[in-house]
Amino acid sequence: MTAKLTDKQEAVLVFAAQHGKIDFYQASKMGANGATLASMTKKGWLAKQESNGLNDWTVTDAGKALVPAQHS
């Protein structure tokens, strides 16, 4: 079964897949918030990484599988 992504979730996954990672500021510019990122992490679509007190998220293989083909 394929997950139904919201526009915000899709934007976050596409950006992170294309750029290697996404931070909270970049995600918030797309309309996503902490709850969106936490939910996507819990679902296994993103992996959270902390560096120098700042968080970044990378796309997991499960998240990459959800990125529409035209964006990957």
Sketch the domain layout of the chain as residue ranges. Answer: 7-64
Classify domain 7-64 at the CATH class level.
mainly alpha
d(CA 24, CA 2): 26
Residues 5-50: pLDDT tens digits?
999 999 999 999 999 999 999 999 999 999 999 999 999 999 999 9
Q: pTM of the entire structure?
A: 0.88
Which residue bears the tokens 């997950």?
Answer: 3
- Give 46's strand partners: 59
3-state class (DSSP) for residue 63: helix
Q: Is the pLDDT of residue 71 over 70?
A: no
pLDDT at position 70, please?
59
